[in-house]
Amino acid sequence: MERVIISSSVAHQFPSDAPVVGRYAPSPSGDLHLGNLRTALWAWLEARSSEGKFVMRVEDLDRVKKGAAERQLADLQALGIDWDGEVLYQSTRIAAYQQVVKELTAQGLTYECFCTRKEIQSATSAPHAAPGAYPGTCRNLSEDERSRRRQDRPGAIRLRAQMREFTVVDDIAGEFTSDVDDFVLLRNDGTAAYNLASVLDDRYQGVTQIVRGDDLLSSTPRQAYLANLLGFPAPRYRHVPLALNGKGDRLAKRDGAVTLAEIRDRGVKDAEVLALIAASFPLKNIESDGTARFPSSAAEMLDVYQDSQPSNTPWTVQDEILKGVTIGG
């Protein structure tokens, strides 16, 4: 890999007329809930409405719950989401992650970090520290100091970033700028960190467009920076609003019957779940008599998606909705 010098703090991203390859990449830590399913449908609709490809990835480097990946993929298929090619499992890509880190290290673009979480939290809470950004504690350790620290604990591998901040363009948020600190590439157990694995896998799968929850927007400049540093454009981004519970918090399993299996147990059919999600956008079919009806299949959603303007506000999921789901608008 040749040394790449980034001359601009604004990300080089795929142009809007590039062939669309979208993706969905769940972590198999549990079953998908309504918010996850909505985001997956949104990503699928964006790709398929542009006559693009859609690929699937299982991010199984950590937090793997037995059988979760299989259930997640089955739920997506049950709702009508299809994908091109085989599912990519990150656990098959370990050698690729390590090779890229080796190349970056050869260019002097990495260093070992021995800080504990407690030490990092203490440093980043100090006055004048950038919130959440690694302060570079281990950046300039001498070789003697690194050798001494290795005796206490193995080191993680951090990127030696050449910029303090980076800007991406998001379809919803517009220009978004955030800190680019010396983020972790390999954890101290040798596992690839999310920012590294996701960037390399998006490149490997040819992804040009990413639709995902807006809680991930803050880390996007780091990922775009790494993509550009490695010599390729970052995808186009659309960070969509999350599903929230009645208290305004991010939807989670503790909020009741929120997974497809739990909703089915209440007697709610998949078509009704799809109608519920369609209503949240909202996506409506207009019947010949002028009445509106929410689509009850992914294919019906796709038929009306291009002519719709999905809401850019969060979706509040009330438990009562699940007791009275109706396909009619």
Q: Determine if residue 308 is labeled as part of a ligand binding site.
A: no
Instruction: Look at residue 324 and tell me whether its pLDDT is greater than 70.
Output: no
Same domain for 229 and 312? no
Same domain for 43 and 185? yes
Q: What is the mean pLDDT of the chain?
A: 91
Beta carbons of 177 and 33 less than 8 angstroms apart: no
Same domain for 276 and 166? no
Q: Determine if residue 287 is labeled as part of a ligand binding site.
A: no
Same domain for 162 and 292? no
Write down which residue in 189, 221, 240 finishes a domain: 240
What CA–CA distance (Å, rounded) separates 313 from 135?
34
Q: Determine if residue 254 is labeled as part of a ligand binding site.
A: no
Beta carbons of 159 and 104 less than 8 angstroms apart: yes
Same domain for 160 and 68? yes
Q: Is there a catalytic annotation at residue 253?
A: yes
Q: In the prediction, which pLDDT does 199 show?
A: 98
Q: What SS3 class is residue 268?
A: coil
| pTM, full prediction | 0.92
Say how many domains are in the chain.
2
Is residue 139 included in any domain, yes or no? yes
Write down which residue in 214, 240, 266 finishes a domain: 240
Average pLDDT over residues 91-107: 97
Q: What SS3 class is residue 148?
A: helix
What CA–CA distance (Å, rounded) separates 173 from 166?
15
Q: What SS3 class is residue 277?
A: helix
- Pick the catalytic residue: 53, 66, 247, 253? 253
Average pLDDT over residues 63-74: 96
Instruction: Look at residue 59 and tell me whether its pLDDT is greater than 90.
Output: yes
Q: Kindly report, residue by residue over 272-320, the tens digit of the pLDDT.
A: 999 999 999 999 876 766 677 899 999 999 999 988 889 889 999 876 5
Query: Helix %, strand %, coil % for the chain, to 5?
Result: 35, 20, 45
Q: Which helix (H) or strand (E) holds 103?
A: helix 94-106
Instruction: Look at residue 328 and tell me whether its pLDDT is greater than 50.
Output: no
Q: Determine if residue 194 is labeled as part of a ligand binding site.
A: yes
CA torsion sign for 118, 123, 124, 127 is positive
Q: Determine if residue 247 is labeled as part of a ligand binding site.
A: no
Strands 156-159 and 110-113, bridge-based pairing: antiparallel
Range(s) of the domain holding residue 75: 21-240
Instruction: Look at residue 69 and tell me whether its pLDDT is greater than 50.
Output: yes
Strands 53-58 and 21-24, bridge-based pairing: parallel
Same domain for 74 and 206? yes
CA torsion sign for 298, 211, 193, 134 is negative
